[in-house]
Amino acid sequence: MDKLLIRGGAPLNGEIYASGAKNSALPILASSLLADSPLKVGNLPHLNDVTTMLELLGSMGVDVMLSDEMEVQVDTSSIHNLNARYELVKTMRASILVLGPLLAKFRQATVALPGGCAIGSRPVNLHIDAMRAMGAQIDIEDGNIKAKVNGRLKGAKIIFEPVSVTGTENVIMAACLADGITVIENAAREPEVIDLANCLAAMGAKIKGAGTDVITIEGVESLDGASFSVMPDRVEVGTYLTAVAMTGGRVKIKSAKPEYLSSVISKLELTGAVIISGEDWVEIVMNESKPKAISLTTGPYPSFPTDMQAQFVSLNAIAQGNSTVTETVFENRFMHVQEIARMGGNIILKGNTAVIEGIKKLKGAPVMATDLRASASLVLAGLVAEGATTIDRIYHIDRGYERIEEKLKMLGADIERIS
């Protein structure tokens, strides 16, 4: 099993390109199930989760091809199996995103209850209740969601409590081919939801309000294929910016969308970093010897993202001063704390809050990744630690970061993948 070996202490300098957003690519690939002709998707990141989604579509008989322009073309005209099998679904919770499109287009679906990172309760009941409200008959049998609908799904008023990104995306896709108008209240406002809506609009969908907490979808008879490029990954960009705030140096990230990173950038500026940005790039300069400690609370977009919480725990572990990091989205997302403690971090958990006392230096140690963003926090900790850090179970990081060791090497980090 692969590991990452990091020898810390080097500042980061140079330029890299942002990869496409996994959390945008997955629902957009699922949306191909709605189209009567092929959907071409560009800027897909080369990640395990994206590969799993393509394998899942392929297992249904969908034709997946890579074009000369490095676009993935997805053609659902050959689909013959409406079953999302557990062997694939168990590794990726986003597999639930095929439920809405399959019901809307083919009027039935069998989707295994999903797996993915063990970071707390992410109930599928929000998806199931929404599909039932739109007229689907759903039973849970042998670990599978078995769903069908007589005729077309019906437009409905869906109120999410709590806010659900994948729930919002599933309903948007289902509603595109439903009979009538669907209104989603307390909808997720994430940029990835906007990206999905833009892709669906290019396919002929009628969607208003994406990016707000009320989204209205008017169902249409059919959708066509289109060509669409996935947005940059704001969490990947935020992770590299945080790394520079910790190590020092100067890094420019191209093909980025800084307007989607305002909450992260504002916190990084408070640490002492200087952030400069343009329409499609962002640059960070960190001349301070150490970042200043920053307290924060996570929340749905546009609040500080839960997917950046672990990285800021690492930053605060070596920052000047004390801080608190409060997690409000997932109740089990502090598993990285005990691993950072193995490196000398002084962190105490009090309920859903990490109380952090910044120390002079972390020490390299063998640590273990427990989920995707926790693994990123350990990479950041290793970059500033004294000595060598070995990170095990890095298949987690490969789910969400494209060639992380290669990009960090380009910036001057001493990091390698070992067996």
117 in catalytic set: yes
Helix/strand/coil (H/E/C) assignment for every residue in the chain: CCEEEEECCCCEEEEEECCECHHHHHHHHHHHHHECCCEEEECCCCCHHHHHHHHHHHHCCCEEEECCCCCEEEEHHHCCCCEECHHHHCCCHHHHHHHHHHHHHHCEEEEECCCCCCCCCCCCHHHHHHHHHCCCEEEEECCEEEEECCCCCECCEEECCCCCHHHHHHHHHHHHCCECEEEEECCCCCHHHHHHHHHHHHCCCEEECECECEEEEECCCCECCCEEECCECHHHHHHHHHHHHHHCEEEEEECCCHHHHHHHHHHHHHCCCEEEECCCEEEEEECCCCCECCCEEECCCCCECHHHHHHHHHHHHCCECEEEEECCCCCCCCCHHHHHHHCCCEEEEECCEEEEECCCCCECCEEECCCHHHHHHHHHHHHHCECEEEEECCHHHHCCCCCHHHHHHHCCCEEEEEC
Q: Contact 351/364 with Cβ under 8 angstroms? A: no
Q: Contact 363/386 with Cβ under 8 angstroms? A: yes
Catalytic residue (one of 117, 131, 177, 315): 117
Q: Contact 268/281 with Cβ under 8 angstroms? A: no
Q: Which residues are catalytic?
A: 117
